[in-house]
Structure 1
Amino acid sequence: MKPTSISLALLAVFGLSVPAQAFEPFVIKEIRVEGIQRTEAGTVFNYLPVKVGDRVDNDKAAAAVKALFATGFYSDVRLEVDKDVLVVAVDERPIIANILIEGAKEFESDQLLKALRDNGLAESRTFDQALLGSAEQELKKQYYSRGKYSVQIKTTVTRLERNRVGISFDISEGLVATIKQINLVGNQKFSEGDLKDYFQLDTGGWFSWFSKSDQYSKPKLQADIEALRSYYLDNGYLEFNIDSQQVALSDDKKDIFLTVNLTEGEQFKISDVKFAGELIVPEAELRRLIGIEAGEVFSRAKINAATTIISERLADEGYAFANVNAVPEVNKQKFEAAFTFYVDPGRKTYVRRVNISGNTRTRDEVIRREMRQLEAAPYAGWKIKRSKERLDLLGYFNEVTVDTPLVADSTDQVDVNVTVTEKQTGNIQVGAGYSQSDGLVLSGSIAQANIFGSGKYLKLEVNTSSSNKVYAVSFTNPYATPDGVSRGFDLYKRRYEPDNLSVGSYLNDTVGGGLRWSVPVSEYDGVNLGLSAERSKLTLFENSPEEYKRFVNKYGETNITILGSAGWARDTRDSALFPTRGKLLSINAESGLPGGDVKYYKVTAQQQWFFPLSKTFTLLWNTEAGMGGGYGGQKLPFYSNFFAGGVNSVRGYESSSLGPRNTITSGTSTVTTDEATGGNRRLITNLELLLPVPGMKTDKSTRLSAFIDGGNVWGEDQKLKLGDMRFSAGVAFSWLAPVGPMKFSYAKPLNAKDGDKLERFQFSLGQIF
């Protein structure tokens, strides 16, 4: 009997029906496979829906052809009948032996190969010619996401032995298309310039080479549109809508034109605020917390913040999974909306375990002792938040995240997962300043804030500047007791020669040591105590101030001081590195105690207030005040005077250059020199706007600031007048660089007087190890 065949060409590709009597129905006595090279005959048998002994007709033959072709292993499948033998003839698809990508610079080859793999094209897979077109489109899509719309891709398929193919993609990337114009259509309430300030995308600027803000991407555009929507909704435009958005590309594919059409609608106000559901917290307290009143302009941000505040307040009571929904009742005729906050606290939650990860150096106990949320205890949201803040304040970690996943098969238990990213805590610090008269002044220290991961602090300081030579050792154990009492000691040898800083000429060699304690009295408050003893040897010169000479004549060149200190501090800042909110308040006093040669006191107070203006802008207000004097018939020693001027007080003026000046009396004449002698009272204030570097809003390692500094020092015989204060304004840049912290500032004095010494540019840098 002449063989008869049925082919996929009719059945699968073109979808035609099988001609009548393609072959006579028969019972299969044997099945033979032909045309296979790589696949095994068993593979064919596994997918073949008929077997020996089955009766085959046209329908079963068609089903068999479709089943084999559907595997993707074969480019053609034919069934032939040779007497009672079913012959399965196949043409195998080739296998992809290798894929080469040439000319790719914008992306790593592995990244592009992954994109191809996700689209079905990869080495060792079956080659399908139909996939090449979609593969090219996928590669172009990757380049379009980077703004390279002129990219060209040439694909070559090379046949290899053993039914294999090699595929190469030759890529000509072209230039990046940049945004030429952004058009907003339909805005009447706000100017286009104001609205564009909320866009990540722009038409280019000084930092575009770094931020790539002038390179179009669909995710960035969608983010900008959401920012625009949020701006309108936060200003009461409840019916705001984006009608359309168009992205046009110039003919040469180098310029992009964006157009956003919008409808603003009318501004809505809040007519009423109500609460419903199970109110665990009294309604009066909830109203006070959310701060939303009837009659004010609707703000989606305030409504969302209110639901968050209520949820967090319920979390403080142990309800970790409280559900709060704000449901509006909109009156479109009056342009008003009433909101009802539906509160469902859920079940009270407990903490099963506290899990810590990411700490390859820092010991678990160092982290656990900062945790305020304990295991096997009721969940408290404020304790979770405070635990994260305390870990941030340690300064050991670049990032701290705290998650509270629900325990499997439980409705009222969570785990607290603390994940930290450690940073280098050893520090070699180098400080530098430059002035027109003294040139470059250097200093340095070496410290380890987390010795062997124990949380203990050790510092070895070596300062070799021309005015201040220091050799010191400091050690602190922050948990000398389980309750968090800190204990430390200091040993130091100093030679202070301020003549090099245009301060009154003298030389002070000091050797001393002391003990320190810090006792926590609340979650945010601590008391500091210290006791030390030091020996000072003073050397005066012919041009030393008369005040200094009188002190040495009365008390001698060498004296012993028994120094006692006490202080209080309250720290509610959210970070030790770059705070964005909170306060630091401190009052400190030190005194030369009876039993020593010198008896005096000094009291200083400081407040730092970090106030967030937005998610990215923070206002810092710092104020420092100090006063001192003697007792028992003595005066404040001249070497304990207050000084002002320099990078840590009033920028733009040389270090320690402000305040009273040395006077030299010769016969009947008195001459005032340019040497500062310091004073017994000091007042410093700094107002600083902290902001991210343009184009680097999410980078936590850099920060810009614009500041106004003010301050001065007054002597005993001077009346404290605010009109004597010196002011300066300028900009500063801080960077937590991989090689260490860096800070640069440039200040312009605003009311410098004759004789003031200026130092406009200052910087400091360090190296982390």
Structure 2
Amino acid sequence: MNKSFSRFRLRSVAAIVASAIAATAAWAVEPFTVRDIRVEGLQRVEPGTIFASLPFRVGDQYNDERGSAAIRALFDLGLFKDVRIDVNGDVLVVIVEERPTIADVEFVGTKEFDKAALQKALREVGLAEGRPFDKALADRAEQELKRQYVGRSLYNAQVVTTVTPIERNRVNLTFTVTEGESARIREVRIVGNKDFSESTLLSLFDQDSGGWLSWYTKSNQYSRAKLNADLETLRSYYLTRGYLEFHIDSTQVAISPDRQDLSVTVNITEGQKFVVSGVKLSGNFLGREDEFKSLVTIQPGEPYNGEQVNETIKAFSDYFASFGYAFARVQAEPEIDRVNNRVALTLNADPGRRVYVRRISIGGNNRTRDEVIRREFRQFEASWYDGDRIKLSRDRVDRLGFFTEVNVDTQEVAGSPDQVDLVVNVAEKPTGSLQLGAGFSTAEKVSLTFGISQENVFGSGNYLGVQVNTSKYNRSISLTTVDPYFTKDGISRAISLYSTTTRPYYTQDGDYKLVNQGGSIRFGVPFSEVDTVYFGVGLEQYKFDPGNRQALLTPQSYRDYFGCVTDSTGQFIISCRQDSVWGIPLTVGWSRDDRDSALVPTRGRLQRANLEVGSGGDMQYYKANYQYQQFFPITKQYTFAINGELGYADAYGNKAYPIFKNFYAGGLGSVRGFEQNSLGPRDKPLYPGQETAALGGTKKAIFNAELSTPFPGAGNDRTLRLYGFFDVGNVFADRPAGFWTDAQWDAIKKVRASVGLGISWISPLGPLRLAYAFPVKYQKAEGDPLDPTTFIPEDRIQRLQFQIGTSF
């Protein structure tokens, strides 16, 4: 919009006419020596401004030519709407009438455009508070505003400019806008297609005649830029299927008489389908022809595929760039045999001149500091251009998760053919997020998790988060801060403080609870561009409170671990060998992340491994887990992803394994369709029908698979997706003594599985995922409910779950 307004910098026609008239009045004066100069009519303009613009001074010779030049110079200041020069003997009298000053600029009725942005645009061209008012400039601004609304499909938008004079020769400028309704696309037609149906081709378009989600996607609002993108998609569709000579003949956009509906007609010629007969190289390949040949993805004998040709050209260009040839020219020259419908391709290459990077500029980061972006760059200024390093730098900036778009453009330096500038443009997203999770179960009814986090505190790139769980049975609060560049070498530091209180599902006032409090510090050391190794140490305490000391209401596993002794009746706890344990957990971990995006990944993989060892204190154990994620792009619209997790834990020495270090499974991020952390062994029920707490297990195995597709009615919008999933897994443990029968334990150890559908949405609060699952393999209630020794309870099913800020 600012660029459009910049075209308005034209001299006022009225000012030119007035200048000519005033100049005429100053003519036909006999030359004389100026004895004095007086100025009349000034209100706010300083007299010095007038005298500095006059082409003569006291004592100079005055004539008609100098008078005309003086009037033109004063009009050029843009401060006056009338200028005259009167001659009184040998005294010159400069009479001016000042333009009104703009006191305020206001927009009324604008919804499509931000008022602050409009005011800024006008300020840059002179229509701003404190500036002289120019009616011609205001009229042109009004017309440009109308044109901008036409670009938003608001063809009936009306703009009225109101100039209100106020005291002291000032005016208020008001642009009143009646936007009206957007013109909607009523119909989109493709004419000339033979080998593909019209519905198939129209499904490629982001613009359409609308659906039930058009209020969100705005896909039925006409945009010339979006139509051009759709036409490129259509062209690519044919070129990837052998139609080498496909072309778009014309595009017709017709608007209804009431300017509310549009119809779009695209006329095409498909041409014949061609098969590739051969591929050869020509030109300068730096003596690396064999290496370049290995990059060719074009398959002779297969239909011509424009996408493969473009991929090969891009691969060649990128490979040239890795040697510093930023502007290598690679062209695919076809030799067409129309008789046999075959085409031979010659890949011609000219590497050009090797260049180095002079300067790296960053734009679009209104909040994020430049250094946060620059420290992710592996291409440096004043070094040879390296395409691989530039791509790696772009991906590293994107993986920060602070931006919705990251683009790196290469610009030539005028007069220096061996230099280029890199321009990094980013589009920031809100990095503060509110994380919410909810679930419903018969035991807890509604449980909530809540968190506030800021991934980019004050634009520094540091993370600060607070997590709260309001569950009746698992209440927790934690504070985490991460400095990704604790040292200049990229070593990160994470500090966590937490407090968790766990209570049984059959909780009443006075029942037992387990309180966990502690903190940790962890450092991450980058060993490569995608590999990081973590080292950490913590200090934590687990405190067991038996409450009213009713033994029957306290899990046997806790009583055994803390060495609790009951009275002769076995109903009350007399004492425990220890009511708390503490330890110093040491951790070492590794992660590898080469995904193309942290926000919406479509390709690449993420791997994590972690080992925690209890050293010192009352706990001696080890706990290891490994996670693997991979994303496979099927097409532009579809992405397939898998996730797997394995975990194993045990005690060492003569200590018992601390049961509160168990793995848990169930719910979002695990096996959907089951209540969060509900799978695996449970407490011993005390009476028929009693809800018991899940204890977790020392072994864990989880597998997830997802296929994400465009949401119906949302076109190809990647911020709103529909996905189907399949989850399988469970947690396992050694069979406890004296309670579970073989049949019961076999039922617990079996894996659980579910399938379902979900919605993912990159909302203003963060990534939101909602899932509705159908458990296909789960434990049903078996045995006699009145006999806890034979009864196998049903798994806790929770079909509908949602969370903000999670994956899988």
The answer to whether TM tops 0.5 is yes
Partners of 1:188 and 1:359 in 2: CA distance = 48
How far 1:750 sits from its partner (Å)?
A: 3.2
Pairing partner for 1:233 from 235, 239, 245: 239
User: What residue identity is the alignment partner of 2:726?
Assistant: I
User: What residue identity is the alignment partner of 1:655?
Assistant: Q
Q: 1:720 to 1:338 in 2, by over 3 A?
A: farther
Q: 1:279 to 1:263 in 2, by over 3 A?
A: same
Q: 1:516 to 1:753 in 2, by over 3 A?
A: same
* TM-score (norm: length of structure 2): 0.70
Residue of structure 2 equivalent to 1:4: none
The answer as to 2:625 corresponding to 1:604 is: yes
SS of the residue corresponding to residue 777 of structure 2 reads coil
Q: 1:220 to 1:386 in 2, by over 3 A?
A: closer
Residue of structure 1 equivalent to 2:580: 558
The answer as to 2:641 corresponding to 1:641 is: no
Residue of structure 2 equivalent to 1:759: 798
How far 1:517 sits from its partner (Å)?
A: 1.9
Q: 1:492 to 1:229 in 2, by over 3 A?
A: closer
User: What residue identity is the alignment partner of 2:613?
Assistant: S
Residue of structure 1 equivalent to 2:726: 708
Partners of 1:420 and 1:152 in 2: CA distance = 32
Q: 1:749 to 1:140 in 2, by over 3 A?
A: same
Partners of 1:246 and 1:641 in 2: CA distance = 66
SS of the residue corresponding to residue 230 of structure 2 reads helix
The answer as to 2:14 corresponding to 1:40 is: no
Deviates more, 1:309-318 or 1:401-410: 401-410
8 Å CA contact retained: 2:527, 2:533: yes
Unaligned runs of 5+ in 1: 1-35, 47-101, 156-168
Residue of structure 2 equivalent to 1:735: 762
8 Å CA contact retained: 1:743, 1:764: yes
8 Å CA contact retained: 2:474, 2:501: yes
Pairing partner for 1:576 from 571, 594, 598: 598
Q: 1:466 to 1:673 in 2, by over 3 A?
A: closer
Partners of 2:260 and 2:397 in 1: CA distance = 49
8 Å CA contact retained: 1:433, 1:440: yes
Residue of structure 2 equivalent to 1:13: none
Partners of 2:224 and 2:426 in 1: CA distance = 33
State how many pairs are aligned. Answer: 655
Residue of structure 2 equivalent to 1:165: none
How far 1:692 sits from its partner (Å)?
A: 5.1
8 Å CA contact retained: 1:325, 1:342: yes
The answer as to 2:333 corresponding to 1:327 is: yes
Pairing partner for 2:375 from 345, 369, 372: 369
The answer as to 2:529 corresponding to 1:546 is: no
User: What residue identity is the alignment partner of 2:607?
Assistant: L
Q: 1:747 to 1:361 in 2, by over 3 A?
A: same
Residue of structure 2 equivalent to 1:161: none
The answer as to 2:541 corresponding to 1:514 is: no
* TM-score (norm: length of structure 1): 0.73
How far 1:147 sits from its partner (Å)?
A: 5.8
8 Å CA contact retained: 1:651, 1:760: yes
Residue of structure 2 equivalent to 1:653: 674
Partners of 2:499 and 2:158 in 1: CA distance = 70
SS of the residue corresponding to residue 749 of structure 1 reads strand
8 Å CA contact retained: 1:433, 1:764: no
Partners of 1:337 and 1:603 in 2: CA distance = 57
- The within-5 A match list for 1:380-459 is 380-459=386-465
Residue of structure 2 equivalent to 1:628: 649
Partners of 2:154 and 2:423 in 1: CA distance = 42
How far 1:583 sits from its partner (Å)?
A: 0.8
Partners of 2:581 and 2:112 in 1: CA distance = 70
Partners of 1:173 and 1:313 in 2: CA distance = 51
Partners of 1:392 and 1:154 in 2: CA distance = 41
SS of the residue corresponding to residue 290 of structure 1 reads coil
The answer as to 2:758 corresponding to 1:748 is: no
Partners of 2:495 and 2:372 in 1: CA distance = 21
8 Å CA contact retained: 1:432, 1:765: no
Residue of structure 1 equivalent to 2:209: 203
- The within-5 A match list for 1:187-202 is 187-202=193-208
How far 1:525 sits from its partner (Å)?
A: 0.8
How far 1:353 sits from its partner (Å)?
A: 2.7
SS of the residue corresponding to residue 417 of structure 2 reads coil
User: What residue identity is the alignment partner of 2:330?
Assistant: V
User: What residue identity is the alignment partner of 2:755?
Assistant: S
User: What residue identity is the alignment partner of 1:636?
Assistant: Y
Q: 1:672 to 1:636 in 2, by over 3 A?
A: farther
How far 1:439 sits from its partner (Å)?
A: 2.4
How far 1:381 sits from its partner (Å)?
A: 1.0
SS of the residue corresponding to residue 394 of structure 1 reads coil
How far 1:631 sits from its partner (Å)?
A: 2.3
- The within-5 A match list for 1:468-507 is 468-497=474-503, 499=505, 507=513
8 Å CA contact retained: 1:644, 1:657: yes
Q: 1:429 to 1:271 in 2, by over 3 A?
A: same
User: What residue identity is the alignment partner of 1:651?
Assistant: R
Residue of structure 2 equivalent to 1:337: 343
- The within-5 A match list for 1:48-127 is 124-125=135-136
Partners of 1:395 and 1:402 in 2: CA distance = 17
- The within-5 A match list for 1:456-467 is 456-467=462-473
8 Å CA contact retained: 2:553, 2:686: no
User: What residue identity is the alignment partner of 1:733?
Assistant: S
Q: What do residues 440-487 of structure 1 show as CA deviations (whole Å, max 9, x unaligned)?
A: 223334444444544444444444432333344434333333322223
Deviates more, 1:595-604 or 1:380-389: 595-604
8 Å CA contact retained: 1:186, 1:261: yes
How far 1:411 sits from its partner (Å)?
A: 0.8
User: What residue identity is the alignment partner of 2:665?
Assistant: A
How far 1:563 sits from its partner (Å)?
A: 1.4
The answer as to 2:746 corresponding to 1:724 is: no
SS of the residue corresponding to residue 683 of structure 2 reads strand
